[in-house]
Amino acid sequence: MQAGWAQALGMENIVIRAFEPSDSAWLVAQHGRLYAQDEGFDESFEALVGDILNAFVAQHDPSCEQGWIAQAGDERLGSIFCVRLSEHRAKLRLFLLVPEARGQGLGRRLLRTCMIYAKQKGYSSMQLWTHESHKAACALYAKLGWSLVSSKPVHSFGVELVEQSWEIEL
């Protein structure tokens, strides 16, 4: 992929489609590669993503849980998932954009897709877990009305991190 290709292609040519189990290997590999490259995470993070996806494929309730893949042509660009925590609360998971697709508004589009879906399914709130180092994502959460509710230093995935929890009322 060439840098700036998404800009040349135009956002209107990027589709957000439903996650399919055949997307799992790509998602696990991208999470593992990008988090190792950008954050220094060890292989335990890739294993966690694999476990999350395996559980989603095996157990998700399609009436109230959904995953999406952003795609241009044959190229997958990112993902986001909405999973049930309780009758009225959903969790945002596996929000990812490949570096070449960042800065084009696609992250906002994915996040809004997930939040609109959650509201339509009757959830009154959502939560997510992330790390302080994900500055662009955290800025987007804040811009769309999410609130940082907790932050703590942890040692996870082989590195020192500041873990964060965010919430939003829908």
Domains of the chain: 5-169 (3.40.630.30)
At residue 2, the pLDDT reads: 43
Contact between 85 and 127 (Cβ < 8 Å) = yes
Strands 125-131 and 89-97: parallel
**What is the model's pTM?**
0.91
Which string of DSSP letters, residue by residue, matches 58-99? Answer: HH--TTT-EEEEEEETTEEEEEEEEEEEETTEEEEEEEEE-G
At residue 65, the pLDDT reads: 98
**Among 112, 23, 137, 7, residue whose Cα is nearest residue 75:** 23
At residue 164, the pLDDT reads: 96
Amino acid in position 118: A
- pLDDT tens, per residue, the chain with 170 residues: 444 444 555 556 899 999 999 999 999 999 999 999 999 999 999 999 999 999 999 999 999 999 999 999 999 999 999 999 999 999 999 999 999 999 889 999 999 999 999 999 999 999 999 999 888 999 999 999 999 999 999 999 999 999 999 999 99
Q: How far is CA 49 from the centre of its chain?
A: 11
